[in-house]
Every structure is written in structure tokens, then in C-alpha cells.
Chains A and B, each alone.
Chain A
Amino acid sequence: MKMNGAGVWLRGISGAVMAFLYLPILVLTVFSFNDSRLSAVWQGFSWHWYGVLWHDAALLAAAANSLLVGVLSTSLVVLLGLPAAMGLERLRGKGVRVVETIFLLPLILPEVMMGVALLLFFVMVRWPLSLATVVIGHAAFNLPVVVVLVRARLQKLDPRLEEAARDLGASAWETFYRITWPLIRPAVLGAALLAFTISLDDFIVTFFVAGPGSTTLPLRVYSMIKSGLSPEINALSSLLVLLSMGLVGLSLVLQRR
């Protein structure tokens, strides 16, 4: 294909941006296979650091915490977000925009603010910081994510389908169970996967609301870096990148259906 000058430039700039975004991750991944104590010099291929990961008890505990928080906060957020999205979709009148904005505010609110606010809240109600407060914190910033994604699907749903079900004798619950739910299920699962991924990766809010014994994976990585860069972190980060990409990819596939 023959390209004009603008085309060449566009390709060049796109390539540079992609490199800027992904080169560090690529380097990190490559060096996770480095057979050396020091991160900077390539000494040959090895699975060694992945083995070290597997025997790091503190790290495994943090991973278990992260998974637990992810599963619980995602469940909570779907249980709250699905009815919220359906409610917003049915709402008519002047107040709708206001309610909608309030729901979506956490998406644009600086995360530090959310972290501080949640911490102050838990202190105020005298709720000791624990895994439970982390779960609630994650649910707080993931709720708008689920609401937005589920609503996007609901808006594409023909309202006549629910009317048709009612017309054919279905109760409100039967209409949801037989018609609405099967049609929005992929979008809800996709939203849940995305929320799970965000929960798994979150550092800032978790940093504020985690108590002793509720260290999650990102918090553990942070404390490991403080005691010096080890290729073990490279290995761990590579695994997290792989997991996140996989989950987000799956989420996108589900939402496109």
C-alpha cells in the first residue's frame, strides 16, 4: 500500500505512543526471566524468580487477601449496582440527571480524596480497619463502574421485550428472570470482571482503609520495593499484568455480545 506523508507520520507517532506505554512493561517482563540478583544486567533465561514467588509466604497471604477482597467487593457491587442501574433506567423526570451524577461522581473524584474520606468515615463510626473495610472501600469506587456498564446494555434493550413478556402473562419477577436477565447477563459478567480487575490492582484507596493483617498484593509489592528492587517483583508484576489483561479482555468479549 502506498502511503502519503501524513500516513507515515501518523504511523510513526502511534508507534511511539505504544512504545511509551508498553515498553516498560515489556522490559519488566523480560527481566523477570533474568538469571541474576541484579535487575539491570541480562545474565540468561531462568524461571528462578517465579519459583521464589511461590515460596514467599507473606506474598501468598497478600495474594489470598486480594482475591478475597476482589470476590467479595465484586459480589457486593453487582448486588447493589444491578438494581441501581435498572432503577436509573426506569426513572423519569427532573431529578434523574442529579441522581445519575451522584452515582457517577466517584468515577471522576480523585482517588486520594476517596481514600481519605473513607478512612475518616470508618474512624468516625469506630469501625476497626480490616479486610471488611477494604471490601467496602473497593465496592465504593467500583459501584459506578458496574452501574455505567450495565446501564449501557439496558439502554440497548428494546423496552417492548419486557412489555411483550408482561403481555404474555409474566409477572414482574418472571419478566426479569426469563427475559431481562438472560439478555444483560454477559454485560453484567463483563462489568463484574472489570470491577474485579480494578479491585485487584487498587493501591490508593486500599492504602488508606487497610488495617493490620489485611495487606493486599499491591500493598505488598509497595513494601517490597521499599526494601530494595528484587527480580521477584518483576515476576510478580508480570503475572499481575497477564492476569489483568486476561480479565479485561474477557470482560470486553462478554460486553460485546
Chain B
Amino acid sequence: MNDLSIDIRALVKRHGETVAVDHVSLQIRRGEFFSLLGPSGAGKTSLLRMLAGFETPDAGEIHIDGRSMADVPPNRRPVNLVFQSYALFPHMTVAGNVAFGLEMQRVPRGEIAGRVEATLELVRLSDKRDRMPGQLSGGEQQRVALARALVNRPAVVLLDEPLAALDQQLRQQMQSELKSIQVQVGITFVCVTHHQEEALALSDRLAVMRQGRVMQVGRPEDLYERPENLFVARFVGASNEIEGVLASVEAGTGDLLPQGLAPMRGIRVSVPAGLQSGAPVVMTVRPERIRVTPGQGAEAGGNCLHGVVETMRYIGSEWQGVVRIGESVRWTIHAPNAGSGNRPVAVGAPVLLHWSPDDGVVIPLI
């Protein structure tokens, strides 16, 4: 059996002048937790609504479980959507809401009762079965919305910013709950979010979108460790950058000759296939990969740059600071809390920034 759950081929959606979704192609596997991540206006909600059938693509195709979804109305699609606002039916009890989908599918009464009960148990709401939605907390409403989708055993559950309406603490708790429920039921989840931490924590794979286009698809660690473009590097996590030109490229490694900086020695980088010496590139390093030491004398091995500490702030688990390199380059650094609340380096002090050549990701400038 084919393990492809959703096959999106060159999908296009225009809203008036703007192109909301611009030739998007994605393959989502069965049982996968897949996220669409991007800033608002990236087209992720349009894409989700086309999967649900509420919007019609201007071009391209959607196949779910091998079946084309063209001309299939929302009520005939093997997908269920969890709305951002939950959209619980206010005049029905929790159990009534959850039973609705099964009633519409003409499932026999006896079976409905059992399945509703089992699903409410899954989301830990059995004791709230006779409440009205208005009497529930935000987190409970969220779980009812999820149960209302899951009870139908759809091929795909679509989630639109599922945790956006919850406060920070509840968000974290619901994150792990959502993930564990998804693993238990084994249904394909497609989740729209603008929250990058959430997307990384929940997803098996994710697509980063910008202005209707997919910028990169991959596992969370692929996107974070090996961003393919600056947008992904900057949107997923913080990015410290130096522009420059590649030199002495050989066997996947090379030197970066930075613009407007005089490093004490050549910056070694690993070079992705296809890039030659002389190519203009940006190197990006994640803050937590940089080791900061006070002083000016370079250590042997690894890459090293001089800088001056501009700010340093204490956030408990670590220190976060900004270091100026040369005239105008600024890098964010994270220094571990070494105990007793001492600053690892003083503001205004000259420091050395060290990182391994493997941690510098080279992105070609087009």
C-alpha cells in the first residue's frame, strides 16, 4: 500500500491581485505530523482551507489517499478541520458536538455512543460530556474541537493554529498532549502555525512558507541545522551572519573571505555541493554554537573572531548578549549560566568568539 497520505501538486490560489499560494507541491506521508510554518500572509491558511475544501484551487491538484479532491465538497472529504476559534456548536453539549460528525455519516446509534465515549476518554474529558461549550475553559474547548475531529477517524486531521488562543503555560502542556494523541491514533496531522518553536517541537516534518511559496521542507533538525536559504535561517531560530566570498574550495570544505572584516585567520566552512571558489555567500551560525571567551589572544583550532560585548542580559537558564564584530556586524550569543549569577563577560569588554567549521552553514547569495 502506498504510504502517501496527501499529494499536493503545483497548487495555485489567487485572492484578487495577490497570489496566496504559488505553485506549492508537497508530499505528506501517512501518520505524519506535518506543519506549515510561516509568518502571516505566507499562504498556509489558504493551503489548509483548500485541503478542507472551503477554497477551490485556481490550478494544481490535491490527492488524499490517492483520490483526487477536485469536485469533492467539504462534507465528502476524508479530512476534519480543527478551527483556530474551535467553532464548537454552542447549542450542543460536549458529547453532542463530538457525536455530530458520526450522526452525519449515519453511523448506528449504539456505535456512536461508544466511539464518543472512547474519544472523550482519549482527550480526558469524560467527566465534561454533558457540559455546554460556553462552560469550558480554553484548553477544554480545544480538546473538544480535537475530539470532534478525531472521532470520525478521518484520513487527515487539519489544525489551524491549534494552540494560538491558549496562554503560554497551557500551550506547552497542550503541545505534548497533542503530540501524544497524534502518536496514539496514528492519523496524519497537518498543522498550520506561525510559532516556530511549536512547529519544531510537534512536527515529524515541516514546510516553511513565505509569500505563497515553500522555502524548505524537512525534519525540524534539517531546517534548524541546514537551512537552505536566509529566510529559513532567520525564521527558524536566530541567525548570526557574515557575508563573504568562498575561496580554496576543496572536498566539501573551503575558506570564507568576509567582506569588510579582518579575521585573524581564514574562516573555515563546510561547503555544500555545487558551490565553487569565488561564489558570494552568507555564513550563518546559531547563537548556542558560539563559545565566548574574554581577552584577545586567539586559541588554536576552530574559527575565531574578535568582538566587543554590547549588551548582556540574564534570563535565568543562560546569558544572552550581543557582540559587535568590526564596524557593523552584530551577533547574538548565548552563554550558559555558570552559576552564582556572574556575568561570563563584561559589557564593553573585548571578547573572542569561537565556533567549529561544521557549525557554520553556507548559503549561496543569488
Residues of A within 8 A of B (CB): 158, 160-161, 163-171, 174, 178-179, 182-183
Contacts and interface: CB of A to CB of B under 8 A. Distances in A.
A158 B80 contact: no
A164 B89 contact: yes
3 closest Cβ pairs, A-B complex: A169-B104, A168-B101, A160-B87
A86 B142 CA distance: 29
A167 B79 CA distance: 8
A166 B90 contact: no
A178 B75 CA distance: 14
Contacts of B104: 165, 168-170, 174
Given A168-B100, A168-B101, A179 B75 contact: no
Nearest to A179: B89
B52 interface: yes
A160 B85 contact: yes
A168 B91 contact: no
A165 B85 CA distance: 14
B279 to A, nearest CB: 49
Contacts of B83: 160, 163-164
Nearest to B100: A168
Q: How many B residues touch the partner, as a band?
A: 20 to 34
B260 to A, nearest CB: 52
Nearest to A164: B87
Interface in B53-82: 53-54, 73-77, 79-81
B239 interface: no
B87 A169 contact: no
Nearest to A161: B87
A227 to B, nearest CB: 54
A94 to B, nearest CB: 14
15 contacts: A160-B85, A163-B54, A164-B83, A164-B89, A164-B148, A165-B89, A166-B74, A166-B75, A167-B52, A167-B77, A167-B79, A168-B148, A169-B152, A170-B100, A174-B104
Contact of A165 (B53, B54, B90, B100): B100
The dominant DSSP class at the B interface is loop
B18 interface: no
Contacts of A158: 85, 87
B165 to A, nearest CB: 13
Interface string B138-164: 000000000010001000000000000
Contacts of A169: 75-76, 101, 104-105, 152
Contacts of B100: 165, 168, 170, 178
A179 B148 CA distance: 15
Nearest to A163: B54
B152 to A, nearest CB: 7
A157 to B, nearest CB: 10
Given A163-B54, A168-B148, A182 B81 contact: no
Nearest to A158: B87
A168 B90 contact: no
Interface in B95-152: 100-101, 104-105, 148, 152
Nearest to A174: B104
Contacts of A161: 87, 89-90
- B85, B89, B148, most chain A CB atoms within 10 A: B89
A170 B105 CA distance: 8
Contacts of B87: 158, 160-161, 163-164
A137 to B, nearest CB: 36
Given A163-B54, A167-B74, A169-B152, 14 more contacts: A158-B87, A161-B89, A161-B90, A163-B74, A163-B81, A163-B87, A164-B83, A165-B100, A166-B54, A168-B148, A169-B101, A170-B104, A179-B89, A183-B91
A155 to B, nearest CB: 16
A169 B77 CA distance: 8
A169 B72 CA distance: 12
B101 A182 contact: no
A160 to B, nearest CB: 4
A161 B91 CA distance: 11
A15 B73 CA distance: 60
